Amino acid sequence: MTDRQSYVQPTESQFARLAAPEQEGPIWMLNLIRFKGRADGIHAEEGISGAEAYARYGAAVQPFLTGVGGRVVLAAEPAESMIGPEEGEWDAVFVAEDPSRQAFLEMTSDPDYLEVHRHREAGVADSRLIACRPLVQ
């Protein structure tokens, strides 16, 4: 890993922008994930990989996602870079669709979801979460 900054949580201003009421309709959340070699946090004593910790998050988050009317649109492991750095930057790519920004915020502010989110924190070394408006319905 390089000396660049890692991102795992949104800043307050990023979260506030997502809550902006002027944008309506579905939202796709593009997730680019780089895993830790070894998970820490709630999995520090288990000796599991970051990918294994994230898999636990993925399984546990499904009821929350479907509970707000969301779904996984894409789950993929990047194979190779066709444009960009030769060395792969990301271990996993996901796109989750929520019916609205409000639905996403409802899910991510649920205290039970926040408990599940600890698996993600334990396994992710770096990430990008990019809110996208679908261009084609």
Check residue 73 and give its pLDDT.
Answer: 95
Residue 92 vs residues 11, 64, 66, 72: alpha-carbon distances, Å: 22, 20, 21, 13
Cα 40–chain centre separation: 17
CA–CA separation, 60 and 91 (whole Å): 20
- Residue 2, pLDDT above cutoff 60: no
Check residue 106 and give its pLDDT.
Answer: 92
Q: Which domains does the chain have, with CATH numbers?
A: 23-81+91-132 (3.30.70.100)
Q: What is the pLDDT of residues 91-104, one digit of tens each?
A: 999 999 999 989 99
Residue 24 vs residues 47, 79, 96, 105: alpha-carbon distances, Å: 43, 34, 16, 13
